[in-house]
């Protein structure tokens, strides 16, 4: 019997996790360091601290299994939006013809945050540490605008100025996100801009250049190095961001247990830089590595237009286009990658979080990819029965969830499928309009383009024997 009155699993503000789960000590092969782009050697601590807040640099390489969440930060999470709800997707189950308790679908709802996604989880943490360290300005890039809004919100709470370089394609497609950032006192520039050397290289050739996350990162890093009271911050990819996001997976575990699920079968999340998927699945990965959840299948979903893990190579690459940000070992399509303007703006990064790349190489997690039209179709199918219109990024996870549920139905299997609902799509309505108007087309990144980008003579070669 379906228990309707226990289908939205809520926790109390006092249940906000007290620690973050640090997966670094558990990784089957050691984590690779951040490399200084100037000399190809591991970035010294002082150098990393000139770029990022110091506490984040410490967390980036921490060997502690669990890292305490500062009390002040837990108070803010608790008094604003955490813990977020876990929903049983009863409407979607009915829609797919799987009512009953044989196949269950749950989703963790990170769209419940003030800015509509999981991004404030780390934005608040980074702004908190920056304010404690006397930093007065945080500078960043944003693709779809979710990270820029999350950070503007976080910075404003802690009295820090926030400057955002927004990929021009999104700047034009999503004026709403820009207004939201400005509402939190954020300063927003279209990237490539005239204000940095990295931006000018592209801007002078073409003032309407659509931009890319790689270029916007170069601009933000360059800008942050102008003053010693400003820092660059990132909304994804690096270890400390995934660490901050592990509150999502920890809450999910408690909520599933409350719903009577001790062992989920499939965990799904969309992957851009890997932070929402990472934060959602890392607490379960630890259980998998410790033999408590040996059979759980963990699947990250990418767009076919930007398949860093599914089609890229695992190798050293620059984090940005202008080669100013640290070099990372990760799955990459090459730092020269300029994405086609597909709508899932947050999934258009050329690389992938080193933690995700490591877990994938070690076959702890899997990856798959979908076309944007089937993804948007799945999003609308979800919205019609569950109510919330998903962000196009999130919709990748929904498409895979639907496929998995239908496969289980066909094979007459018993399954619990849980996905991370990373954010809502109320600022992404243009993507839905394009779909409805029949203007959305599928785009698959040609293998030859990937091959060319990765054979770029400027791909870094790092001597691994030095560490």
Ligand X SMILES: *Cc1c(COP(=O)(O)O)cnc(C)c1O
Residue 373, C-beta contacts closer than 8 angstroms, at least 6 positions apart: 435, 440, 441, 442
Report the residue from 117, 122, 140, 250 that binds ligand X according to the rule CB under 6 A: 117
C-beta of 150 vs 326, nearer to ligand X: 150
422 binds ligand X (CB under 6 A): yes
Q: For residue 358, what are the CA distances in angstroms to 144, 237, 298, 309, 457?
A: 26, 12, 14, 11, 25
User: Regarding beta strands 66-68 and 19-21, do their DSSP bridges make them parallel or antiparallel, or are they unpaired?
Assistant: antiparallel
The rounded distance, in Å, linking the Cα atoms of 327 and 20 is 25
Q: For residue 281, what are the CA distances in angstroms to 16, 158, 299, 307?
A: 17, 29, 9, 20
Residue 198, C-beta contacts closer than 8 angstroms, at least 6 positions apart: 192, 215, 218, 219, 221, 222, 321, 322, 324
* HSE-up (13 A, CA, CB side) for residue 398: 31
The rounded distance, in Å, linking the Cα atoms of 455 and 138 is 35
C-beta of 193 vs 394, nearer to ligand X: 394
CB of 371 to ligand X, least distance (A): 17
Site for ligand X in 392-421 (CB under 6 A): 393-394
432 binds ligand X (CB under 6 A): no
Closest listed residue to residue 227, CA positions, set 323, 136, 324: 136
CB of 400 to ligand X, least distance (A): 14
DSSP helix/strand/coil, 203: helix
Among 168-176, 187-195, 325-333, 386-394, which window interacts with ligand X (CB under 6 A)?
A: 386-394
Cβ-based neighbour number of residue 293 at 10 Å: 19
270 binds ligand X (CB under 6 A): yes
Among 18-26, 75-83, 389-397, 433-441, which window interacts with ligand X (CB under 6 A)?
A: 389-397
Site for ligand X in 168-197 (CB under 6 A): none
**Count of residues that bind ligand X according to CB under 6 A:** 20
239 binds ligand X (CB under 6 A): no
C-beta of 42 vs 390, nearer to ligand X: 390
- Per the CB < 8 A criterion, the answer to whether 160 and 224 are in contact is no
Among 5-13, 202-210, 256-264, 387-395, which window interacts with ligand X (CB under 6 A)?
A: 387-395
Among 4-12, 18-26, 388-396, 411-419, which window interacts with ligand X (CB under 6 A)?
A: 388-396
Site for ligand X in 199-238 (CB under 6 A): 236
CB of 349 to ligand X, least distance (A): 8
Report the residue from 274, 312, 334, 339 that binds ligand X according to the rule CB under 6 A: 274
The rounded distance, in Å, linking the Cα atoms of 271 and 370 is 12
- CB-based closest residue to ligand X: 423
CB of 237 to ligand X, least distance (A): 7
C-beta of 42 vs 423, nearer to ligand X: 423
Report the residue from 54, 82, 104, 119 that binds ligand X according to the rule CB under 6 A: 119
User: Regarding beta strands 103-109 and 297-303, do their DSSP bridges make them parallel or antiparallel, or are they unpaired?
Assistant: unpaired
The rounded distance, in Å, linking the Cα atoms of 10 and 158 is 28
C-beta of 168 vs 415, nearer to ligand X: 168
276 binds ligand X (CB under 6 A): yes
Q: For residue 21, what are the CA distances in angstroms to 18, 26, 247?
A: 10, 10, 8
C-beta of 210 vs 279, nearer to ligand X: 279
DSSP β-bridge partners for residue 188: 164
Cβ-based neighbour number of residue 144 at 10 Å: 31
Among 61-69, 266-274, 322-330, 457-465, which window interacts with ligand X (CB under 6 A)?
A: 266-274
Pure H helices in 319-391: 354-361, 372-386
Report the residue from 186, 211, 273, 339 that binds ligand X according to the rule CB under 6 A: 273
CB of 300 to ligand X, least distance (A): 8
CB of 91 to ligand X, least distance (A): 20
Closest listed residue to residue 278, CA positions, set 254, 298, 305, 262: 298
CB of 376 to ligand X, least distance (A): 14
Among 92-100, 188-196, 252-260, 265-273, which window interacts with ligand X (CB under 6 A)?
A: 265-273
Per-residue interface string for the shown chain with ligand X, residues 336-375, x marking contact by CB under 6 A: ----------xx----------------------------
Residue 236, C-beta contacts closer than 8 angstroms, at least 6 positions apart: 147, 272, 273, 274, 275, 349, 353
What residues line the site for ligand X (CB under 6 A)? Answer: 117, 119, 146-147, 236, 270-277, 346-347, 391, 393-394, 422-423
């Amino acid at each position: 019997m379906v228990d309707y009155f226990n289908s939205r699993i809520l926790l109390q503000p006092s249940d906000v996790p007290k620690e973050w789960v640090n997966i670094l000590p558990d990784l089957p092969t050691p984590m690779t360091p951040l490399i200084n782009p100037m000399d190809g050697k591991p970035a010294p601590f002082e150098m990393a601290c000139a770029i990022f807040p110091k506490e984040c640099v410490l967390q980036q390489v921490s060997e502690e299994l669990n890292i305490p969440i500062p009390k002040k930060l837990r108070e803010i999470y608790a008094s604003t939006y955490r813990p977020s709800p876990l929903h049983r997707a009863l409407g979607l189950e009915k829609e797919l013809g799987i009512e009953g308790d044989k196949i269950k679908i749950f989703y963790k709802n990170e769209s419940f945050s003030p800015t509509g996604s999981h991004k404030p989880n780390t934005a608040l943490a980074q702004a908190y540490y920056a304010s404690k360290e006397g930093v007065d300005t945080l500078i960043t890039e944003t693709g779809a605008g979710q990270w820029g809004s999350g950070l503007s919100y976080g910075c404003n709470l802690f009295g820090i100025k926030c400057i955002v370089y927004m990929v021009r394609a999104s700047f034009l497609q999503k004026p709403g996100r820009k207004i939201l950032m400005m509402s939190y006192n954020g300063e927003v520039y279209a990237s490539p801009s005239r204000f940095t050397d990295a931006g000018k290289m592209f801007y002078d050739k073409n003032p309407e250049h659509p931009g890319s996350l790689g270029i916007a990162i170069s601009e933000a890093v360059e800008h942050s190095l102008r003053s010693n009271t400003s820092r660059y911050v990132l909304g994804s990819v690096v270890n400390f961001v995934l660490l901050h996001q592990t509150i999502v997976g920890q809450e999910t575990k408690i909520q599933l247990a409350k719903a009577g699920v001790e062992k989920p079968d499939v965990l799904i999340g969309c992957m851009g830089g890997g932070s929402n998927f990472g934060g959602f699945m890392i607490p379960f990965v630890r259980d998998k590595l410790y033999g408590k959840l040996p059979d759980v299948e963990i699947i990250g979903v990418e767009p076919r237009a930007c398949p860093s893990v599914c089609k890229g190579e695992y190798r050293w690459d620059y984090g940005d286009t202008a080669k100013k940000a640290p070099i990372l070992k990760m799955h990459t399509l090459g730092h020269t990658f300029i994405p086609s303007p597909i709508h899932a703006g947050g999934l258009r990064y050329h690389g992938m979080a080193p933690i995700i790349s490591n877990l994938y190489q070690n076959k702890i997690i899997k990856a798959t990819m979908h076309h944007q039209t089937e993804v948007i179709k799945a999003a609308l199918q979800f919205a019609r029965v569950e109510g919330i219109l998903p962000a196009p990024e999130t919709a990748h996870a929904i498409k895979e969830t639907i496929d998995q549920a239908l496969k289980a139905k066909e094979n007459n299997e018993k399954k619990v499928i849980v996905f991370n609902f990373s954010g809502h799509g109320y600022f992404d309505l243009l993507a839905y309009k394009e779909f409805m108007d029949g203007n959305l087309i599928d785009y698959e990144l040609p293998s030859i383009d990937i091959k060319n980008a990765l054979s770029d003579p400027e791909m870094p070669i790092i001597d691994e024997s030095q560490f």
